[in-house]
Structure 1
Amino acid sequence: MQESPFKGKTGVKRVFNAFFYSLDGLKAALKHEDAFRQEALLAIILIPLALYLEPGTIGRALMIAPVLLVLIVELLNSAVEAAVDRISMENHHLIKRAKDMGSAAVLVALINVAVIWLIVLV
């Protein structure tokens, strides 16, 4: 199997490049993914709210972490969808399965936010 021509950079240059590739990924998600924009807005509301409610340091961490996890899962879901769409736009049961499973992962992450917030606040 042929390795990517983008592999091979090491050290500080790799970290530097990775940081800017990550920023490009965030920009792409914000520009092209409605769900990511909605979940980012949710994070912009919920993270300051977690800080305002003052549930204690551990409570804050427990409330903020699942919100960030939703963004992570959505980014991974969007990456899978983009890769699958690059390979084929045909209506295929395996493509549907991959996309549905990515969507289910986001749903589970969102449920996790609700459960953790309820546990911490109640």
Structure 2
Amino acid sequence: MPIRPSTAARASTGALRAVDIDGETASIEPFDEVSEPPVTHPGHRTPALSGVEAVTGASGGERRAEEDRADIDAKIDGGRAAYDDASADAEDRANEPLSPDDPLAPLPFNPYKGNRGLTRAWHAMKNSLAGFRVAIREESAFRQELTLAAILIPCGVLVPVEPVSRVLLLGSVLLVLIVELLNSSVEAAIDRISLERHELSRRAKDLGSAAVMVALGMCLMTWVLIVGPLAVRWVKAML
């Protein structure tokens, strides 16, 4: 029958135990003192805790449960506070006014845009007439084109052509005036910003001049194609 390990004398730092290998004691190793649970036999009753131990254990469990609940409540309150802060920040950003450089920012208040109905039409007509006076007084190119229009518009009205051709003749002349007015407005806006020589300013003015040239070419082409054959017949009839 195997030999049970013998227990050595306990030291202050631990105890010694005998290790039984193949029925013989191989060595003695130190080990820490470990309290083993008592062995219960059938019919053995676990001794009841005393009143002080029961109260102490119950109060300790309740204290730990209260601490756990307090930690959970603190985490919930922290999450609610963070959510409220995030909602307040989002609301502040939504209510924050847009900067002037933002394309969605509202335009500054213009007192001249508050008119409605006939009042607005009256002010628009006065502003348009003022624009014509300024163009005639300040823009020599517009004066030259206006003189050309004063000659071509009566000719377009009197020339014996179909209504569609008449509209093309008159529209091509008016298109030249429209493009010239737009070109003059672009030049005035650029001069309002700065009078210094700049590549972008030069490019904008050149593009406006190119638009005027295209309108003039279209007008010339329309008159040559529509009035040219009539003029040739008139010349042949006179000869």
What is the identity, as a one-letter code, of the residue corresponding to 2:208? G
Alpha-carbon separation, structure 1, partners of 2:141 and 2:178: 12
Aligned partner of 1:43 among 117, 138, 149: 149
Question: For 1:91 and 1:85, how far apart are their aligned partners in 2?
Answer: 10
CA deviation vs aligned residue, 1:48-95 (integer Å, no higher than 9, x gap): 111222222221111000100100110010011011101100100000
Which of 192, 200, 214 aligns to 1:94? It is 200
Q: 5 Å matches for 1:5-44?
A: 5-44=111-150
Identity %: 49
The structure number with the bigger radius of gyration is 2
Instruction: Quote the offset at 1:2 in angstroms.
Output: 1.7
2:112 aligned counterpart, secondary structure:
coil
* Structural mapping, 1:43-122, within 5 Å: 43-121=149-227, 122=229
Counterparts of 1:26 and 1:119 in 2: how far apart (Å)? 31
> 1:6 is paired with a residue of what secondary structure?
helix
Greater share of residues in strand: 2
Q: Distance in 2 between matches of 1:29 and 1:61?
A: 25
Q: Which has the higher contact order (CA 8 A, sep 6+)?
A: 1
The alignment's C-alpha RMSD in Å is: 1.1
Q: Which runs of 5+ in 2 are unaligned?
A: 1-106, 230-239
State how many pairs are aligned.
Answer: 122
* Unaligned 5+ runs, structure 1: none
Q: TM-score, normalised on structure 1? A: 0.95
